[in-house]
Amino acid sequence: MIVGILKEIKAEENRVSMTPAGVEVMIHHGHTVLVEKTAGVGSGFDDDAYAKAGAILIDSPRDIYAKADMVMHVKEPLTAEYNLIRKGQIVFTYLHLAADEPQTRALIKSRAVCIAYETIQKADGSLPLLTPMSEVAGRMAIQQGAKYLEMAQGGQGVLLGGVPGVDPGMVVVIGGGVVGVNAAKMACGLGAKVYLLDMNLDRLRYLSDVMPANCFTLMSSPAAVRDLVTRADVVVGAVLIPGAKAPKLVTRDMLPTMKPGSVLVDVAIDQGGCFETSKATTHSHPTYVVDNVVHYCVANMPGAVAKTSTQALTNATLPYALKIADQGWKPAMQTSREIRLGANVVDGKITYRAVAEAFGLDCTPIDKLL
């Protein structure tokens, strides 16, 4: 198979979908790998490293889309790429379609085979290709929350860890999944008082056993959220429903009850955000203020630590990319339920129910297309 590695064009996105080490493995499996020139520079991998691994360097994305059987990105295709995607071509990347109707309709029109990293799912319910970026984003959420509590950044001037004789800051993390646990660990490590909310009692029992003593687990409910945000210095939104729009858990009418200069960090912004006042921001303009509350809603948080993120992402995606390339997308889906769940749009049909429901469109089970 001819596999194309595209340069990211989303604002301030420095990751790349495969390291030179990953390219080398692909080539050992007999595949041809096309890499767009300078695609890896932002992650610390120059063109020479890809050439030494055996890749063919290509000048333009148009040429990669024209030649590759499968194209790989980190972020979703943007408007400039929609007309480059060919019928039957495999597009393997993060798609987040439930929060992006124009992209969904463009991929339907393309009749490509669109496989989303974020909906590939193991039997235990875990999301193996979302996990490494969730780990990065969860840890970053606390770094950013702590920074934007500083007065120079518009915050209220609270040091999350406190000092002897002064109370530490209070962090509320909504969602006890990968993002939430990594955020809570970082906040606990700084010495903050941390509340970690989830709706799964078994999960809360487990987290109560393994988290540090300054992490308090609570059953999530609207009443609990309403109460905690009034006392919180940082609130991290870390709720995910695979492939679907995120629920709005902090509503507009809660903001006036919060401390002026407190910080909301919405890690679910890729799926529409879990705060009612959330809107996607960028690394160059990461925050805005509503009702004296600082909102940090950068849609590609791991892009700020591109070298770490690219290596972590390749570790996770490479086995699935190899299986698709080795077998072809149909046999790969027939033999792997995990990859089958990654199918979002195939040959002009939406194959992931949550995406179809987000826009009131029909869903065709992927099994009917295999």
250 appears as a binding residue in the annotation: no
Do 253 and 277 sit in the same domain of this protein?
yes
Q: What is the pLDDT of residue 294?
A: 98
- Statement to judge: residues 271 and 318 lie in one domain: no
Inter-axis angle of helices 178-190 and 131-148, nearest 10: 40
Distance, CA of 309 to CA of 294 (rounded, Å): 26
Q: Look at the block and give the residue holding tokens 């996770």.
A: 316
Check whether residue 272 and residue 332 sit in a common domain. Answer: no
pLDDT of residue 271: 86
What pLDDT is recorded for position 11?
81
Q: Is residue 118 part of a domain?
A: no
Tell me the pLDDT tens digit for each residue of 262-290: 999 999 998 899 999 999 999 999 999 99
> Per the annotation, does 300 bind a ligand?
yes
- pTM, full prediction: 0.87
Number of alpha carbons in the 13 Å side-chain half-sphere of residue 154: 17
Task: Please check if 124 is assigned to a binding site.
Answer: no
Looking at residue 244, its pLDDT comes to 78
Task: Assign 174 to helix, strand or coil.
Answer: strand
Q: What is the domain-level CATH number for residue 294? A: 3.40.50.720
Q: Is residue 12 part of a domain?
A: yes
Q: Look up the domain containing 221 and give its range.
A: 131-304
Whether residues 80 and 199 fall in one domain: no
Q: What integer pLDDT is reported at residue 137 of this predicted model?
A: 96
Q: Model confidence over 22-71: pLDDT tens digits?
A: 999 999 999 999 999 999 999 999 999 999 999 999 999 999 999 999 99
Q: Residue 240 pLDDT more than 90?
A: no
Residues with a catalytic annotation lie at 96, 270
Ligand-binding annotation for 299, yes or no, is yes
69 is in an annotated binding site: no
The model's pLDDT over 83-111, given as tens digits with 9 standing for 90+, comes to 999 999 999 999 999 989 999 999 999 99
Residues 297 and 323 in one domain: no
pLDDT value for 10: 87
Mapped onto helix, strand or coil, the DSSP state of residue 46 is coil
Among 287, 304, 321, residue at a domain's last position: 304
One domain for residues 65 and 195: no
Distance CA 299, CA 251 (A): 20
> Please, which residues bridge with residue 349 across strands?
346
Half-sphere exposure (Cβ direction) of 264: Cα atoms closer than 13 Å: 35
State pLDDT tens for residues 127-180: 999 999 999 999 999 999 999 999 999 999 999 999 999 999 999 999 999 999
pLDDT in tens, 296-318: 999 889 989 999 999 999 999 99
- Where does the pLDDT of residue 115 fall: very low under 50, low under 70, confident under 90, or very high at 90 and above? very high
Domain assignment present for 121: no
Structure tokens at 296: 């940090």
- The secondary structure of 254-301 as a DSSP string is GGGGSPTT-EEEETTGGGT-SBTT---B-SSS-EEEETTEEEE-BTTG
Claim to verify: residue 315 and residue 296 sit in the same structural domain:
no
Look at the chain and report how many structural domains it folds into: 2
Bridge partners for 35 per DSSP = 5, 57
User: Do 344 and 114 contact (CB within 8 A), yes or no?
Assistant: yes
Do residues 263 and 300 both lie within one domain?
yes
Q: Where are the alpha helices (DSSP H) in 213-268?
A: 222-229
313 and 251 within one domain? no
Average pLDDT (196-216) is 97
Q: What is the pLDDT of residue 242?
A: 78
pLDDT of residue 243: 74
Say which amino acid occupies 94: Y
Provide mean pLDDT across the span 351-356: 95
- Indicate whether 147 and 288 sit together in one domain: yes
Mean pLDDT across the chain: 96
